[in-house]
Amino acid sequence: MSAESSSARTRRPAGDECGPYYAGYFSLVPEGDIAATLLSQGKEHRNFFAGLPRDKHDHRYAPGKWSVKEILGHLMDAERIFAYRALRFARGDAAPLAGMDPDEFVVGGRFGSRSMENLLKEYTILRTATTSMVLGFDEEALGRTGVASGSNFTVLSILYFLVGHGIHHVGIVRERYL
């Protein structure tokens, strides 16, 4: 990996590199190489969820809220979708991409019927694959743009969203579920 692409991964995206809803997550992301951050966050989040008591896995802090396993499932669904968007845009595909309804995905995922161990195995594999893909993006790929969910994104902004989105949801688990 060249130094050029490594330094490109340390640049914080500007707020106009994605829709306003998504840019709010950028402030949660620590300084540094976004690929290294994805990798370290994956390990931290895996350890966090693995360390939760079993009686919290299906816990909901209020009626109609997602369970802890559903939150982890949502993080995986979002990672797959946003990593796919990053891949498409990095490769120069300009076709607009559809949005997704997170609540419908959580229902369809049936995450509550799976064990935490099974979910964590999938999460680890998924985050490793995402990080490997990101390491292959050079500066040009990170700066490419596309449209998803009606918003413009750079590839770099998608990666920052992924990290900030994970921080956001783990923070909610810490504050409201434990």
The domain spans of the chain are 47-177
DSSP letter assigned to residue 64? T
Kindly give the residue spans of alpha helices, DSSP state H, lying in the chain.
3-8, 20-23, 34-50, 68-90, 102-109, 116-135, 139-143, 155-172
Tell the CATH topology of 47-177: Four Helix Bundle (Hemerythrin (Met), subunit A) (1.20.120)
Mean pLDDT of 25-39: 96
pLDDT, mean over the chain: 95
State pTM to two decimals.
0.94
Give the pLDDT confidence score for residue 7 in this predicted structure: 78
Mean pLDDT, residues 132-139 taken together: 96
pLDDT one-digit tens code per residue, 72-97: 999 999 999 999 999 999 999 989 99
The 3 state secondary structure assigned to 8-23 is HCCCCCCHHHCCHHHH
Is it the case that residue 4 has pLDDT exceeding 60?
A: no
**Partners of 147 in the beta sheet?**
152
At residue 27 the predicted structure's pLDDT band, cuts being 50, 70 and 90, is: very high
What digits encode the pLDDT tens for the residues 161-175? 999 999 999 999 999
Note the maximum CA span of the chain. Answer: 50
Question: Which band of pLDDT confidence, cut at 50, 70 and 90, is reported for residue 115?
Answer: very high
Residue 174: partners with Cβ closer than 8 Å, 6 or more residues away: none
Containing 147, the helix (H) or strand (E) segment is strand 145-148
Tokens of 138: 């050079």
> Which of the four pLDDT bands, split at 50, 70 and 90, describes residue 109?
very high
Average pLDDT of the residues in 55-64: 97
How confident is the model at residue 3, as a pLDDT? 46
- Our measurement of the distance from residue 112's CA atom to the centroid of its chain's CA atoms, rounded to an integer in Å, reads 20
pLDDT at 67: 98
